[in-house]
Amino acid sequence: MAGGRVTVVLRLYGELNRHLPPGQCRCFEQTIDAGRCVGELLAGLGVPAAAVDLVLVNGQSVDFHRSLADGDRVSVYPAFQALDIGPVSRLPGRPLRSVRFVADVHLGRLARYLRLLGFDARYDTHAADAELLTVSRSQRRILLSRDRALLDDPTLWRGYRVRETAPRRQIAEVLARFDLYRLAAPLTRCLVCNTPLRPLAPAQAAPRLADDIGSRFSTFRECPGCGRIYWQGSHYRNLQRVVGELLAPAQAAPRRAGRMPRMVTTVAAPDRPRCGWPTPAALMPSAAGPTLDPRAATARRRPPGCHARRTARRSG
C-alpha cells in the first residue's frame, strides 16, 4: 500500500463481465483508496448491486460493507437462481426458490408456457419498459427479455436475457437456466390471467356450464381472477403430452417452434364465463394472426389442385 491506496485482485463471473469495458480481462488488479468497501468498488466499475448475488473476499462470503485491504482477492458472482448456495451469505437476502417472472411484450407465448407449467409469469401486451422495471423491483420478479439495453438498466432487480427466438426453445432455455424442472406444477394456474386455480364443486359449476358438461365431468377448477372454469376436455391428453415434452430435460430437438397441439375449444355465453382445459386462445398471443391449426397450415403449404396437376403431368 502506498499513498493511502490499496490494490485488490478482482474476478467477475458470468454476465457481470458485460459491465466491464470491451477487452477487459475477467481477472484483473484494481487500485482504490484505502478503506473503500466492496460496494464502492463495484459501483466504481459500473456493476449494479442488484445484479450481484454473492461476493467472496479471500474465499469468505461477505456483504457490500466489507472494507478491502491490500492484496485482497475479490470474487463477484451473479444471481444463483440455478444453484443452491444456502449456507453462504447471499447479498440481497431474498431466496429465489419461489421463482416469479415478468416477461416483456415480445415474450407472450413464453409466458403462457410458464403458466402452463404452474409458474407465476406476469405478462401485459401494453407494458412499457418503465413499468416492467417497476414490477421487477416492487414484486421481486425476474424480468425475461431479449432487450440487452433494458436488462442493463441499473434499477432492475433481477433479469435474464433469453437467447432463443422460438417459443418452445425459449421455455426449454428458461427451465434449464433456472433449474425449474422439479418446481413445476402443471395445470394449476390460469393461462389467461396468471391466477392460481382453485377447486370448484360440480354443483357450483353446473349452473354456469351449458349442455351436458356438468354431468359428463366431475372435476372442475375455477380461476378467481377472471372467472373461467377449467375441466378435462377432449384434448386433455394432448395437453398432458405437451407438458411431458416441456419437462423432459433431455429434449434436444423440440417440435416445430411455437407449435402447440389443438386443444378443446368452447364458446361461452356472454353471461357465462367458461372454457375448456384449456382454450387455444390461452396459449396463443392475444393479437396473433392466422390460426395455428395444423390442417390450416398444411392447406397453406399445398395450394388447391396441386395434386391434380401432378397427376396430369405423370399421365401425360
Distance (Å, rounded) from C-alpha 245 to C-alpha 9?
45
Q: What is the pLDDT of residues 210-259, one digit of tens each?
A: 777 877 888 899 999 999 999 888 777 788 889 999 998 644 434 443 33
Q: Find out whether the peptide bond into 154 is cis, omega within 30 degrees of 0.
A: no
Is the per-residue pLDDT at 296 higher than 50?
Answer: no
Three-state secondary structure readout of 115-163: HHCCCEEEECCCCCHHHHHHHHHHHCCEEEECCHHHHCCCCCCEEEECC
- pLDDT computed for residue 47 by the predictor: 84
State the pLDDT confidence band at 312, using cuts at 50, 70 and 90: very low
Mean pLDDT value of segment 88-111 = 75
Q: What is the pLDDT of residues 31-87, one digit of tens each?
A: 999 999 998 998 888 887 777 888 999 999 998 889 999 999 999 988 655 544 444
Residue in the block written with cell 432492475: 156
Q: Return the number of other C-beta atoms located less than 10 Å from residue 296's C-beta.
A: 10
State the pLDDT confidence band at 16, using cuts at 50, 70 and 90: confident
State the pLDDT confidence band at 88, using cuts at 50, 70 and 90: low
No. of helices (H) and no. of strands (E), the chain: 11, 12
Q: What integer best gives the mean pLDDT of the chain?
A: 76
The grid cell for 192 is: 389467461
The structural domains of the chain, with segments of one domain joined by +, span: 5-78, 100-285
Distance (Å, rounded) from C-alpha 56 to C-alpha 72?
10
Terminal-residue alpha carbon distance, the chain: 93
Mean pLDDT value of segment 172-182 = 88
For residues 183 and 48, the model is more confident at 183
227: left (phi over 0), alpha (psi -120 to 50) or beta: left
Q: How many CA atoms lie within 13 A of 41 on its CB side?
A: 33
162: left (phi over 0), alpha (psi -120 to 50) or beta: beta
Mean pLDDT value of segment 269-279 = 42
The answer to whether 123 and 282 have CB atoms below 8 angstroms apart is no
Tell whether pTM > 0.95: no
Distance (Å, rounded) from C-alpha 116 to C-alpha 114?
5
Residue 292 phi, psi (nearest 5): -100, 25
The answer to whether 199 and 221 have CB atoms below 8 angstroms apart is yes
The answer to whether 67 and 35 have CB atoms below 8 angstroms apart is yes
The grid cell for 126 is: 401494453
Mean pLDDT value of segment 143-152 = 90
Q: Report, at the CATH architecture level, how domain 5-78 is classified.
A: Roll (3.10)
